[in-house]
């Protein structure tokens, strides 16, 4: 039975939880470029066949130098959020260094999800940084992508919550270097509980699907 006892129309402002908020448009283009180059670096390091000790040592020293230089500025407060405008006039908050979708996380693919009539949709192509079995996406990353999708669908349709339960059916291998279409939508809500379904498609075929229970976080008084 579908029970909608607590439809959420309020959008909590993360500042009410003591979390700083950055406007997505205020993230400097140069920081975005740096995030992109470090993302490329992760792939280059993971896949290099370079064996010359001097070349490798120089690369390590160069990276260490950049890390030290950036470390001179204070770190962002843990839990810093970013506000993003969405197509259609809505906006959403996300953690700025979210491992799946964070604007400033070089390890994130990143996955960008937009609202649809049903829920949310995004497309992403993963490289060997996300490899599990040869040529295939790691199962944990498949779960991570789907967790993000069901969480975002739930958050946009109701209000932000935490994943209480996530069940994944891995139906067929999910390949690297192929566009993954990720969709999710709310099935029903019961008080603070939001039941959400999601899936990954490759060339129109479902490779993995998720059933999730999100529990909405109570707003501060
Ligand atoms: C802050 C503002 C900023 C905005 C922000 C925006 C972010 C927008 C994008 C989000 C995109 C992120 C997507 C990644 C999402 C993660 O990765 S979340 C991280 C992984 N999850 C966690 O760490 C959660 C850990 N678990 C917990 O903290 C707590 O167990 C929970 C889930 C909050 C529930 O605890 P609780 O609030 O005390 O609620 P509780 O009363 O126990 O349960 C409520 C109801 O849920 C049921 N329930 C709870 N757990 C379960 C379960 N495992 N199975 C079945 N039923 C359950 C209970 O039975 C109860 O049912 P009813 O009595 O109402 O019928």
What mean pLDDT comes out for the span 17-46? 97
pLDDT (0 to 100) of residue 12: 79
Band the pLDDT of 221: cuts 50, 70, 90: low
Q: Which residues pair with 156 in a beta bridge?
A: none
Q: Taking 80 as the threshold, does the pLDDT of residue 1 lie above it? A: no
Are 213 and 165 a contacting pair, CB within 8 Å? yes
Phi, psi values for residue 59, rounded to 5°: -65, -45
Q: Whose CA is nearest to atom 27 of ligand 1?
A: 164
Question: Rounded to the nearest whole angstrom, what is the distance from the C-alpha of residue 160 to the centroid of ligand 1?
Answer: 10
pLDDT (0 to 100) of residue 4: 36
Q: Whose CA is nearest to atom 28 of ligand 1?
A: 162
More confident residue, 204 or 219: 204
pLDDT (0 to 100) of residue 57: 98
pLDDT (0 to 100) of residue 179: 98
Instruction: Note the pTM of the prediction, 2 decimals.
Output: 0.93
Residues of the chain with CATH 3.10.129.10: 109-216
pLDDT in tens, 41-86: 999 999 999 999 999 999 999 999 999 999 999 999 999 999 999 8
Q: What is the C-alpha to C-alpha distance for residues 1 and 116, in angstroms, rounded to an integer?
A: 24
- 150's enclosing H/E stretch is helix 139-157
Quick check: CB of 96 below 6 Å from ligand 1? Answer: no
To test the pocket of ligand 1, the residue of 150, 184, 186, 215 to mutate (highest count of ligand atoms within 8 Å of its CB) is 215
Quick check: CB of 102 below 6 Å from ligand 1? Answer: no
Q: Taking 70 as the threshold, does the pLDDT of residue 180 lie above it? A: yes
pLDDT (0 to 100) of residue 143: 98
Question: Rounded to the nearest whole angstrom, what is the distance from the C-alpha of residue 187 to the centroid of ligand 1?
Answer: 16
Band the pLDDT of 2: cuts 50, 70, 90: very low
Neighbours of 110 (CB within 10 A): 20
What mean pLDDT comes out for the span 32-43? 98
Looking only at the bridges linking them, the beta strands covering 120-125 and 91-95 are: unpaired
- Does the CA dihedral 99-104-108-111 come out positive or negative? positive
Complex ipTM value: 0.95
What mean pLDDT comes out for the span 202-214? 98
Look up the CATH architecture of domain 109-216: Roll (3.10)
Q: For the chain, give the percent of residues with pLDDT over 90.
A: 87
Band the pLDDT of 213: cuts 50, 70, 90: very high
What mean pLDDT comes out for the span 170-179? 98
């Amino acid at each position: 039975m579908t029970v909608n006892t607590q439809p959420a129309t309020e959008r909590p402002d993360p500042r009410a939880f003591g979390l700083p908020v950055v406007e997505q448009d205020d993230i400097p283009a140069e920081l975005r470029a740096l995030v992109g180059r470090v993302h490329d670096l992760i792939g280059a390091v993971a896949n290099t066949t370079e064996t010359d000790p001097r070349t490798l040592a120089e690369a390590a020293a160069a990276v260490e130098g950049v890390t030290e230089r950036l470390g001179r500025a204070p770190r962002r407060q843990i839990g810093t959020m970013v506000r993003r405008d969405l197509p259609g006039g809505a906006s959403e908050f996300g953690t700025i260094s979210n491992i799946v979708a964070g604007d400033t996380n070089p390890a994130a693919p990143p996955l960008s999800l937009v609202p649809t009539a049903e829920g949310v949709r995004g497309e992403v192509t993963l490289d060997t940084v996300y490899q599990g079995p040869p040529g295939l996406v790691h199962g944990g990353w498949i779960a991570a992508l789907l967790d993000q999708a069901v969480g975002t669908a739930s958050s946009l349709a109701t209000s932000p919550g935490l994943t209480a339960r996530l069940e994944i059916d891995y139906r067929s291998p999910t390949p690297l270097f192929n566009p993954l279409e990720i969709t999710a939508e709310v099935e029903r809500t019961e008080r603070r509980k939001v039941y959400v379904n999601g899936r990954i498609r490759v060339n129109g075929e479902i490779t993995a699907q998720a059933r999730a229970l999100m529990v909405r976080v109570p707003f501060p008084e």
